A and B are shown apart, each in its own frame.
Chain A
Amino acid sequence: MLSQEKILINRPMGPAHNSQGLFKLVLHGRVAEEAQPGQFVTVRTSPSSDPLLRRPLSIAGIDKKAGEITLYYRVKGQGTTLLARQPEGTYLSVLGPLGQGFSLPAVSPDPASRTANPAELILAAGGIGIFALYSLLEYLLKNHLTDRIPVTVLWGGLDKAFLDCATTDLLFQLPKNNVVLCTMDGSYGYEGLVTEPLEQLLSAGRKGRETMVAACGPNVMLQAVTELCQRFYVSSEICMEEYMACGLGACRGCVCRLKDETGGVKHGRVCLEGPVFTGEEVVWHDRI
């Protein structure tokens, strides 16, 4: 849907002296009704034609009762700079929810379905890829699924300052041992890439495909995650990112490569068939 959503919150994340250019945006309107974890919206940052395109933002939080969605963004270019200046209380043009989100475990146990009822969930995030996974984590916590399904979050960022800033209360609702943090510079947690603790977890004896990995981050990380999952016979869903123009599937600008039914390669639109794809269907190399 295309709607005018009221800006309830639009302010820097984290401590005042360390916002890392990250902002929290809470919108009130009709989008929340239909929003699902892993979906996204596009927002118009200016009534003028510069910038011309809407900005795609992952839905990080959904409160259907209150009619609110939470989005996080990093101020990077002209569009996000203008967005950061939008006053609270004003309205924003929002298109969405868009795309296909994550498969959600059934709220009630369903022994017949393994995907709807995984034995364990691992959420792997790189950098601001955590924002898309927040919506999934929020769903799991809200529906008390974490009582039944062990959920582990693996999250890697550049340094401690980044993690401090991009963290939300959701992570503190998980048992401490179920949150593994990594930094590239070793300033906090595990030093290195998030795929290293993921490999340790997966190699520690998982029950095959009953473990489910959901991941979001840079493409190189997603490729490494899906390759690890395939090596350990674990299914995965990855939330992908690509430059978009329309966000609706019309322009075919944001394609990624997928296996087709005949063993060949086809294009999937990240905005329409994605942004969440199964790790098994994405083709990272020329040959499969």
Chain B
Amino acid sequence: MTGFDMAVKIKGLHMKNPLIACSGTYGFGEIYRDYVPTSAWGGIALKTVTPKPRAGNPVPRLRETPAGLLNAIGLENPGLKAFRQSYLPAMDDMKTAVIVNISGFSVDDFKYMASSLDQETNIDALEVNISCPNIKHGGMQFGSDPESAAAVVRAVRENTYLPLIAKLSPNVTDITVIAKAAAGAGADAISLINTLVGMSIDIDTQKPFLGNTTGGLSGPAVRPVAVRMVYQTYKEVDVPIIGMGGITGWQDAVEFFLAGASAIGIGTANFGNPLAPVEIAQGIEAYALARGYSSLADLVGKAHSN
């Protein structure tokens, strides 16, 4: 098929298509290579890296819910030093945009992460995680308040020339306030949504099911919330939006473009169907061609013009 341009440019982040593997669902890009070539993706957002190694939360860390998944992994990761030594060199042959997702527990942590990674040549963008609901300090706390969100984004902005994506939490009263703060502080793009805080109780033991008591809900169950937040944010901010939340088929992806997303993330769907990115890319292209669109930009935000 020809005639439809799938490429996406967000500042210096160039992607051959608008599909990004969501952070936390794809390891450091190494896991799914036996099933899907990494080149099928426009980009891969790696699992969150923090300054120091983290063991994460006690099990159970997962609970499947209707059309959804609660998780409370707790940002388990090897830490920045081991990430650079053991994983970063392999990013050279990823054949896709490599987006390193960073988090921390203070503004200084984010500064340190940004300045440490700024000179790495095999990174295409940084995604700033101010939205993880499964850690006690930092994480979502930064993303719940416009001032602290701006402070973190600004700290990263001042320490890197890499394209900067701010990943926002849906667990806020007004997502547009946080999005505006992040964009104002220098984010080149906004990704939303991270998971919604939820919980499940085991009726046999009569105790919270997850080791962390609460978890983050993902999957199709959260999709309407995500679409609404992309739609609202598109009206309020000028930077591109990477929309995510329960996308499992191309129809879902199209919905996000129409709401205002310039690119989309696929996360939990990979678990059930590793071929999701291939199928979704084909579906988007067929949809666009059938309607005579020549580029993805023709679709973005179209739901607002009606």
Contacts and interface: CB of A to CB of B under 8 A. Distances in A.
Interface string B115-126: 000000000000
B220 A254 contact: no
A17 to B, nearest CB: 27
- Report which residue of B249, B268, B272, B273 has the largest number of chain A beta carbons within 10 angstroms of its beta carbon: B272
Interface in B47-81: 47, 55-56, 59-64, 66-69, 71, 73, 76
User: Per DSSP, are chain B's interface residues mostly helix, strand or loop, or mixed?
Assistant: loop
Contacts of A75: none
B162 to A, nearest CB: 24
B297 to A, nearest CB: 28
B25 interface: yes
B91 interface: no
A253 B71 contact: yes
B59 A254 contact: yes
A44 B59 contact: no
Contact of B62 (A248, A249, A254, A265): A254
Contact of B61 (A1, A2, A53, A243): A243
A116 B65 CA distance: 43
B214 to A, nearest CB: 15
Contacts of A246: 25, 31, 270-271
Contacts of A50: 66-67, 220
Given A49-B219, A245-B71, A251-B73, A95 B60 contact: no
B191 interface: no
Interface string B264-288: 0000111111110000000000000
- Report which residue of A44, A54, A251 has the largest number of chain B beta carbons within 10 angstroms of its beta carbon: A251
Contacts of B67: 49-52
A222 to B, nearest CB: 14
A27 interface: no
A182 to B, nearest CB: 24
A164 interface: no
A234 interface: no
A245 B59 CA distance: 13
A66 interface: no
B56 A255 contact: yes
Contact of B272 (A52, A254, A265, A267): A52
A264 to B, nearest CB: 10
Contacts of B269: 49, 52
A100 to B, nearest CB: 15
A249 B269 CA distance: 15
B4 interface: no
B26 A52 contact: no
B76 A255 contact: yes
Interface in A235-249: 242-249
Given A246-B271, A248-B32, A256-B59, A52 B64 contact: yes
A252 interface: yes
Contacts of B60: 242-243
Contacts of A248: 31-32, 274
B146 interface: no
Interface in B18-34: 24-27, 31-32, 34
B38 interface: no
B64 A267 contact: no
In the A-B complex, the 9 residue pairs with the smallest Cβ-Cβ separation, listed nearest first, are A253-B62, A250-B31, A50-B67, A250-B27, A243-B62, A246-B271, A49-B248, A253-B61, A49-B220
Interface of A: 1-2, 44, 49-54, 93, 95, 242-256, 265, 267
